[in-house]
Amino acid sequence: MLVKDIMTISVSSLPPEAYAPSAVKIMYSEDVGIVPVCDIQGHVLGVVTDRDILMRDGLNKTLKEIMTSPVFTADIKEDVHDAALRMSECGVRRLPVLENGKLAGMLSLRDLARKKIFTAEIGHIIYDVCNKKP
């Protein structure tokens, strides 16, 4: 099974010049904890999570100032097991999905949970996220 088969397609992104409250609004309205930061062509420059905003006292800062970069990503044609392994190894719960180098969607634990065949991967990812050294 490929990443494109289970990823979330509808993903909002923001430019690096946007301020954190714009990301908070997206997170709240779409019930997500991450917003990709993209240039005008759709290349992912970084990501901003709810944690980034809180830990970096970012409410009055631009996304460029608080985003996490570089970003771990998955390719749209990648095998889901390989992407899940990367999530586990990197200690992340979500991966922006790229097609030809541009944002195409997002792969999250939620997406993996919808397919019961990924329960082992989910367990490894959760363990690694919880035990990741800051």
Q: How many distinct structural domains can be found in the chain?
A: 1
pLDDT score for 116:
65
Residue 47: CA count within 13 A, CB half-sphere: 24
**Would the pLDDT of 115 be above 80?**
no
pLDDT score for 117:
59
> Residue 8 belongs to a domain with what CATH number?
3.10.580.10
Dihedral sign for Cα atoms in the order 23, 25, 28, 32: negative
Residue 75: CA count within 13 A, CB half-sphere: 6
pLDDT score for 126:
74
**Would the pLDDT of 132 be above 70?**
no
Over pLDDT 90: what percentage of the chain?
70
As a whole number, mean pLDDT of residues 31-49 equals 96
Domain range for 10 is: 3-130
Angle subtended at Cα 107 by Cα 57 and Cα 96, rounded to the nearest 5 degrees:
55
| pLDDT: which is higher, 93 or 117 | 93
